[in-house]
């Protein structure tokens, strides 16, 4: 079966994010950008399914500026077969991305899309679910294990109380949780090979999708600076401070 794996370009998880002086967003100029970590897990899972003979072709997709080709190349070096860049310079909200992915699903005809559970930049946790809704497909979100079973997929989900196992009919959407796998590092020979793999570039209009934003960001601000702690001399003093200063008891 053919698989699509969306890979988002985000600020690297090791970078301390700085808010822009005008409060309109976070600084991305001269900041290290990487593939969203949950998407690395998605690519890894897709490559493992191909190694097991379950997947036949893996297509990595990124929506955003031309620089997203870097993240597609990383996916190709990890084992994806080809890439599609949906080039757009403005803001792309989850619904717009889900519509772009739905249009590519119609064009490519995959049986499975492995989406990250959330992008670490905007923490929306929405695109995979929206895509499943737009397509009317089964979804297994927050997956910590994916197995081929009974002509479909058995997905183990991380839920509050523990683990839930769901059986999905194909075609389906799976969203990746942290414990699904440990993504591989691309080897140098594979990085070289990835340079020759094809990346097709399309625009949202080519896919017939209007990506005009529907949300307005009012303000982005740094979290308040944490106050220094205080040492107390006795339990009585602690209780007194909790009652009269913090007013929490």
Interacting residues with ligand AMP (CB under 6 A) = 6-8, 36, 38-39, 61-64, 92, 94, 97, 115-116, 118-119, 122, 124-128
Residue 215 or 248 with smaller CB distance to ligand AMP:
215
Residues 6+ apart with CB under 8 A from 208: 103
Residue 72 or 186 with smaller CB distance to ligand AMP:
72
For residues 217-241, b (16+ Cβ closer than 10 Å) or e, as one string? eeeeeeeeeeeeeeeeeeeeeeeee
**Strands 162-168 and 152-159, how do they pair?**
antiparallel
Residue 86 or 186 with smaller CB distance to ligand AMP:
86
Nearest 5°: the CA angle 104, 110, 116 is: 75
Q: How many CB atoms lie within 10 A of CB 115?
A: 29
CB of 129 to ligand AMP, least distance (A): 8
Residue 118 or 156 with smaller CB distance to ligand AMP:
118
Phi, psi of 171 (to 5 degrees): -75, 155
CB of 148 to ligand AMP, least distance (A): 21
CB of 114 to ligand AMP, least distance (A): 8
- Which residue in the block uniquely carries the two structure tokens 């997956």? 143
CB of 216 to ligand AMP, least distance (A): 17
CB of 38 to ligand AMP, least distance (A): 5
- Do the beta carbons of residue 8 and residue 116 sit within 8 Å? yes
Residue 187 or 212 with smaller CB distance to ligand AMP:
212
CB of 32 to ligand AMP, least distance (A): 18
Q: What is the DSSP secondary-structure string of 142-185?
A: EEEEEEEETTEEEEEEEETTEEEEEEEPSSEEEEE-GGG--PPP
The residue number whose beta carbon is nearest to ligand AMP equals: 116
Residue 67 or 238 with smaller CB distance to ligand AMP:
67
Residue 126 or 241 with smaller CB distance to ligand AMP:
126
Alpha carbon dihedral 204, 118, 38, 135, in 10-degree steps, equals: -50
CB of 240 to ligand AMP, least distance (A): 44
């Amino acid at each position: 079966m053919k698989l699509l794996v969306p890979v988002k370009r985000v600020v690297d998880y090791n970078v301390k994010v700085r808010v822009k002086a005008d409060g309109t967003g976070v600084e991305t100029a001269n900041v290290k950008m990487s593939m969203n970590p949950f998407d690395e897990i998605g690519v890894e899972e897709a490559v493992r399914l191909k190694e097991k003979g379950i997947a036949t072709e893996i297509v990595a997709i990124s929506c955003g500026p031309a620089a997203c080709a870097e993240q597609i190349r990383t996916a190709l070096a990890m084992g994806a077969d080809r890439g599609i860049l949906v080039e757009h310079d403005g803001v792309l909200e989850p619904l717009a991305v889900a519509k772009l992915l739905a249009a590519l699903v119609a064009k490519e005809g995959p049986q499975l899309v492995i989406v990250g559970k959330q992008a670490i930049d905007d923490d929306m946790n929405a695109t995979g679910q929206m895509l499943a809704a737009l397509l009317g497909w089964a979804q297994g979100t927050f997956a910590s294990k994916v197995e081929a079973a009974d002509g479909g997929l058995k997905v183990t989900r991380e839920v509050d109380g523990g683990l839930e196992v769901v059986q999905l009919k194909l075609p389906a959407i799976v969203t990746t949780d942290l414990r699904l796998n440990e993504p591989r590092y691309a080897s140098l020979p594979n990085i070289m090979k990835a340079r020759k793999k094809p990346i097709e570039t399309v625009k949202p209009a080519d896919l017939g999708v209007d990506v005009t934003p529907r949300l307005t960001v009012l303000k982005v601000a740094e979290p308040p600076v944490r106050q220094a702690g205080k040492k107390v001399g006795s339990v009585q003093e602690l209780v007194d401070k909790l009652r009269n200063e913090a007013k929490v008891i």
